[in-house]
Structure 1
Amino acid sequence: MKLLRVLVLVALPLYCLAGSGCLLLEEAINKAIDSQVSIDEYQNFLQPFTYGLETKEAIAELKQCFLQQSDETLSNFALMMNEIYNSYWCALF
Structure 2
Amino acid sequence: MKLLVVLMLAALPLCCYAGSGCQLLEEVVDKTHDPEVSVPEYKQYLQEFIHGDESAEAVGEFKQCFLKQSNETLQDFQVLMQKIYDSIYCALY
Normalization by structure 2: what TM-score?
Answer: 0.86
| Higher RCO, Cα 8 Å, sep 6+ | 1
What percent of counterpart residues are identical? 42
Q: Supply the distance in 2 between the matched residues of 1:74 and 1:62 (Cα, whole angstroms).
A: 14
Query: Given that residues 33 and 66 in structure 1 are in contact (C-alpha distance below 8 angstroms), is that contact kept between their aligned partners in structure 2?
Result: yes
- The answer on whether the counterparts of 1:16 and 1:84 sit within 8 Å (CA) in structure 2 is no
Question: How many residues align structurally?
Answer: 92
Aligned to 1:37: 37
Report deviation, 1:92: 5.0
Contact 2:13–2:81 (CA under 8 A) maintained in structure 1: no
- The runs of 5 or more residues in structure 2 that have no matched partner are none
Distance in 2 (CA, whole Å) between partners of 1:45 and 1:9 is 20
TM-score (norm 1): 0.86
Give the letter aligned to residue 89 of structure 2: W
